[in-house]
Structure 1
């Protein structure tokens, strides 16, 4: 599990999918984690293996949910 330190509240943002059912956490302008409405657990760049905290980052799924590069 990754811990992010040394940033202010202004460095954190949220990005909602167009349908509003999925949300991503943006840290310093970069997507870091997201929750998909189709999964019970989220995805994070801070995870390297599936586990009780979620799934490792899936760029294709992120792009599909948030309509980036589609």
Structure 2
């Protein structure tokens, strides 16, 4: 499967917010997430995964955080 890189602008206001996103992405590792970064300061989440964009988006939205935008980088 082809790995993709996705970048999301996620509204995170505290370390609890970024922690929630980190936890949901960590749980997705067995499903196809190979690497990710969650940056509270820039409110940016970058994910490398074989999963489709919509799957990653849905997992981040499950945290209750607002995803303001998202793009496929490659």
| Bigger fraction of residues in helix | 2
Q: Which has the higher contact order (CA 8 A, sep 6+)?
A: 2
Using structure 2 for the length normalisation, give the TM-score: 0.28
Using structure 1 for the length normalisation, give the TM-score: 0.29
Larger radius of gyration: 1
